[in-house]
Amino acid sequence: MIVRSPSPSGTGSEALMGEPRIEVWAPRADRVEIDAIADGVEVREDLTARADGWWRWDRDPADVGILDYGFRLDGGTVLPDPRSAWQPRGVHDRSRWWTGTPLAERDPKWRGPRSGTGTLGGVIYELHVGTFTDEGTLDSAIDRLDHLVDLGVDVVELMPLAAFPGRRGWGYDGVGFYSVHDAYGGPDALIRFVDAAHARGLGVCLDVVYNHLGPVGNYLALFGPYFTDHHHTPWGWAVNLDDTDCETVRRFIGDATRRWFELFGIDALRLDAVHELKDDSPHRVGGIHLLAQLAEETAALSERLDRSLDLIAESDLNDPAMITPVAEGGLGMSAQWADDIHHALHVALTGEIQGYYADFADPTALTATLEGAFFHAGTWSSFREQDWGRPVDRERISGHRFVAYLQTHDQVGNRAIGDRISASVTPGQQAIGAALYLLSAFTPMIFMGEEWAAATPWQFFTDFRDETMGRAVSDGRRAEFAAHGWAQGSVPDPQEAATRDASVLDWSETEQAGHAEMLAWYRRLIALRRAESDLADDDLSAVTVDHDTDTGSILMHRGRFTVAANLGTEPIEVTVPDSGAGPDLVATFGEATVGGEQSHTVRLGGHSVAVLRTA
């Protein structure tokens, strides 16, 4: 792997891409050994103790062809490297020594997605490597990149790649902040994927999980105080961001972030559930929050590399401070996911109002979210049983700083049977939802297969080889949904290989009736967004939405354009802005005609949508 930092040699984090050495932080150990197989020869040697709890192997790993190594702490069992890039024998075994060529040497002309302007405002496509293709590898995913180019995608977002137990899983139980899961092809395959995407003009975003590690294969606590009981999360003790020795833990995360950008050539990182990064540093020690630290370091790295780099937060807080610059007292994230937009669209299209969807039955929810991202903006949240969120200043904050979507891995996979929205609504209803978010002032994101209304589900699946853990996951999943009335036999078993297999996309659907029409609709919407500046504009204050819950009509006005939709089943007539010459239909799904008693009237069939040029 890369050099550890800060290191006692004085090289610090600036040596991240410098001379690679094997070092490990183990401040509580009295003795640390490397236990390795070097070109087939067993090696067991003491590491040299250095300052601040760091230990170093004095030999140069570059002198070895294939080096599988681990560490023994005070004579204990062999443990993988906390900064391992590759675990070819699984998360419990030795690490494989690996170094790669930084992007600056592989492709010095790359400046980032969208000709260097970055991810914000572009079209993101979220995919899971293990189910995107039958093979479930990064190399096989390369073969489908041209589909994304034809669709109009700007950035491919990969769900987590960190090594996790077994071969199949979502990736959120990863245990290696620095690793690329071997079943997906390992670190070399990720470099090939990034280079192939860049060659097609596509940026790459990587979903990373810094708020916890999975329950199996997590050995960090044996090395040092990586966790603290001063805070707790849904997964147990929190990652140590503000307790004793937190500086090295924070650097552990900072170095991982820099490495994804600089070495692999990733263009953006999606940071999972940042509200679970428990950090009281600004209050306890006068420091800055980890997110602000990452924002400042990423900005400096972007300037040095002369490449656009973005950090996108998944945040449940509904707080604009998340995307407010650090210099203005915020946390400095480039953008954040906006679940409220999804929830409002989902309720309007499906009528589901259980759980956290209940509040979004409010007739103002769809208008509020399409105009200002947050519905809960200092208002009562019945699901949380408290007031929640803060309002977005529509005059100051760019709409591109909010990622909007109709589906995500969570919103599909966390359903009992992993059913997509296309299983609950008509094609026309999905087409309406797509038009409203793809032509919004936000940064739109498509979940893989959504663009052709994939019939395959996307279910929750795992591959824990530990029998007790596997049984607990299966039983827990069934019990969770049994409480909501689901029969146990109807909920797929996460541990069964068939559950993953059922979630693999069926690419033959793209040419089948119904699916092909939806794909053409998504392509048309994205093409319009690219061609018409009004439809890509980020000015939230210029967005107005008229939603009549009695008739089911919704009008979203975007500069010279209006998206007109009929959420109901019966035909309706709506009035759009009058330019004098009457509106022009530029895209339709379902039944839509212009004209009636007045030239600026549009007749829409049930579950139909039209995009009109009105000026």
Q: What dihedral do alpha carbons 303, 309, 315, 317 form, nearest 10°?
A: 30
Identify the H or E element spanning 589. Answer: strand 584-589
Q: Let me know: does 412 contact 458? Beta carbons within 8 Å.
A: yes
Q: How far apart are CA 584 and CA 591, in angstroms?
A: 15
Pairing state of beta strands 402-405 and 443-447? Answer: parallel
Q: Let me know: does 56 contact 15? Beta carbons within 8 Å.
A: no
Q: Let me know: does 448 contact 153? Beta carbons within 8 Å.
A: no
Q: How far apart are CA 420 and CA 403, in angstroms?
A: 19
DSSP states along 57-89: --S-GGG-SSEEEEEEETT--EE--TT-S--TT
3-class secondary-structure state, position 404: strand
State which amino acid sits at residue 18. G
Q: Let me know: does 8 contact 51? Beta carbons within 8 Å.
A: yes
Tell me 143's DSSP state: T
Distance of CA 59 to CAs 31, 62, 394, Å? 17, 9, 58
Residue 198: CB atoms within 10 Å? 20
Length of the chain: 615
3-class secondary-structure state, position 205: strand
Q: Let me know: does 269 contact 206? Beta carbons within 8 Å.
A: yes
Angle value at C-alpha 144, between 143 and 149, nearest 5 degrees = 120
Q: Would residue 272 show up in a list of annotated catalytic residues for this protein?
A: yes
Which of 23, 173, 262, 314 is flagged as catalytic?
Answer: 314
Which of 207, 242, 272, 279 is flagged as catalytic?
Answer: 272
Beta bridge partners, 44, equal 35
Phi, psi of 218 (to 5 degrees): -90, 105
Q: How far apart are CA 96 and CA 179, in angstroms?
A: 10
Q: Let me know: does 470 contact 462? Beta carbons within 8 Å.
A: yes
DSSP states along 6-45: S-TTS-GGGGTTSS---EEE-TT-S-EEEEEEETTEEEEE
Task: Residue 491: name the closest of 410, 417, 424 by CA.
Answer: 417
Q: Would residue 35 show up in a list of annotated catalytic residues for this protein?
A: no
- What is the set of active-site residues? 272, 314
